[in-house]
Amino acid sequence: MSTSPEPATNKPFKIRRVTWQNAETELRILREFVFIREQNVPPELEWDGKDENAVHVLACDEKGRGIGTARMTPDGHIGRMAVLRAWRRRGVGSEMLTALVTIARARQLSRVKLDAQTQAIDFYLRHDFTPQGETFMDANIPHQHMTRSLPSLDVHININDLPKQILGETRGYIDLKGLEDNKQAAIHMVAQGQRSLNLFTPNLDPRIFDNEDFIDAVKELAIGNPRSRVNILILDPSEVVAHGHRIVELARRISSHIFIHRADEEDQGHVDTFMIVDDVGIIRRAHNDRFEGLAEFNNPAEARLLLKTFNDAWERSQPEPELRRLHL
């Protein structure tokens, strides 16, 4: 496991969860460069047959290029952490490790473990890992076995832990109490979506949905998968037309993936707002004009109920031609 102490810094990179099936090429390139070429690890040791069943995270720079990766096997063994030399000591390893530990907590694992290169022991000590046993050699590199115990995940999640929530993994609910809570929850959830976003909203409130981060998240969801789909159902599009909205222009440019409909007269009595992401994550507010609500990143049962409500209303709705024609 290759990393080194990293000071806190601004983050010109993003961490995303990937699978071996959809990111094998990028993961192989990074690990071949760091482990096989730089550290002379034999290929037969590097490719151990465990990648297909492991959780992988991939760090990318601002241009989307891979700069680091790490994995975790089903039993909570973290490893294969590789960061390109130019990106070391810039927080990449810390962010990847935090992401994997968060996933382990969401899976209710009691502990995680890893085999750290001895030069990186201090790094893992700062992340609450404890050395176990004697040092040993692996691929001619001295290592130390380390573990970290994980507390059980509470049902109620503090809003300050929003950045740690993993779509489809983290169980529990977050109370949303204000505009900023709703805005950040929507951004964080949609940014992790890979298949679908269904959004029911009276007026596509620009204070929450017309900001660069949310628009970018919707765009990445829409273009990241050939089968992805974004459905937005609005009660009254007149405000959107009158004041303009960036998501409308995005829908015009990606018209095969993003669809905006006007709700049928039968549904005009709705005052709530809700979204469903990838059929598992939900955000809901009982009243569009108030910001008290809930966010849950892994509640497929409730998501199915909301999705049925949404789909029934969607079947009654009609495309909004005025929104399609709008040029911002």
Q: For all residues of the chain together, what is the average pLDDT?
A: 89
Q: What's the rounded mean pLDDT across residues 178-200?
A: 97
Structure tokens at 99: 């992401």
According to the model, what pLDDT value does residue 20 have? 94
Percent of the chain with pLDDT over 70: 93
Q: Taking residues 157-170, what's their average pLDDT? A: 93
pLDDT band per the 50, 70, 90 thresholds, residue 5: very low
pLDDT exceeds 50 at position 39: yes
CA-to-CA separations, 106 to 71, 109, 111, 172, 220, in angstroms, rounded: 16, 8, 12, 9, 24
pLDDT of residue 287: 84
The arithmetic mean of pLDDT across residues 143-157, rounded, is 82
Q: What pLDDT score does 210 carry?
A: 95
CATH topology of domain 156-325: Endonuclease; Chain A (3.30.870)
Residue 277, CB-side half-sphere exposure with 13 Å CA sphere: 26
5-19, 213-227, 233-247: segment of lowest average pLDDT: 5-19
Q: Residue 321's pLDDT is what?
A: 73
Closest-CA residue to 211 (of 241, 187, 230, 176): 187
For the chain, domain boundaries:
13-149, 156-325
Residue 143 structure tokens: 């290592």
The position carrying tokens 């890893």 is 114
In CATH, what number does 13-149 get? 3.40.630.30
Tell me: pLDDT of 153 over 70: no
More confident residue, 187 or 328: 187
Lookup result for tokens 């382990």: 104
- Average pLDDT, stretch 14-26? 92
Q: What is the pLDDT of residues 274-325, one digit of tens each?
A: 999 999 999 999 888 889 999 999 988 889 888 988 999 999 999 877 665 5
Question: Across residues 88-103, what is the average pLDDT?
Answer: 89
Torsion from C-alpha of 230, 236, 239, 245, nearest 10 degrees: 0
- pLDDT at 325 (0 to 100): 55
pTM over 0.85: no
- By CB atoms closer than 10 A (0-12, 13-18, 19+), residue 306 is buried
